[in-house]
Amino acid sequence: MQRTLAAVILAACLTPAAVLAATTPQQQNGITYANGGVGLEEQAAMKAQRADYNLLLTFATQQSGAYRSDIQLDIMDAKGTDLLSVANVGPMFFAKLPAGTYRISAAAEGKTFKRTVKLGTAPKEIVLHWENDNPDDPGPGE
């Protein structure tokens, strides 16, 4: 009984730290981003940060609606310069990018989605589904 209670207390103490570590903003090439959303606590932590970012990506499976967290994500600027390359992304990925046009490449299961997105200061939200979605679709017209 004491061991079980101790394990429950320890898990409760560690969970907030684990969530914070998983959703803590990081930087690559001067671009700030946050990645996470596995589990309800991480989803809440990510949603609490939404206002800090102008690119909000979510990765899911179309038919089941299940979130995905196994994405290789690459973001390039309009000139083709690699800005971000992050493995094991998802299910939520937020980035703060300067206003401009960007090319997003998200790969999993041998399928790569490519989207072109124009960003300003207002948040732009994109959901990529891994079934019933056309990988050649350039995304919504801008």
Identify the pLDDT of residue 26: 95
pLDDT tens-digit readout, 52-94 = 999 999 998 877 778 888 899 999 999 999 999 999 999 999 9
Distance CA 35, CA 106 (A): 14
- Asked if residue 48 has pLDDT above 90, the reply is yes
Q: Percentage of the chain with pLDDT > 70?
A: 77
pTM score of the predicted model: 0.77
Distance CA 63, CA 20 (A): 30
Sequence-separated (6 or more) residues with CB below 8 Å from residue 42: 19, 22, 23, 36
Nearest to 100 by CA among 84, 79, 120: 120
Distance CA 38, CA 19 (A): 9
Distance CA 33, CA 7 (A): 33
Q: Which residue has the higher pLDDT, 105 or 15?
A: 105
Identify the pLDDT of residue 83: 96
- Asked if residue 35 has pLDDT above 80, the reply is yes
On whether the CB atoms of residues 50 and 94 are closer than 8 A, the answer is yes
- Give the domains, in start order, of the chain with CATH numbers: 2-129 (2.60.40.10)
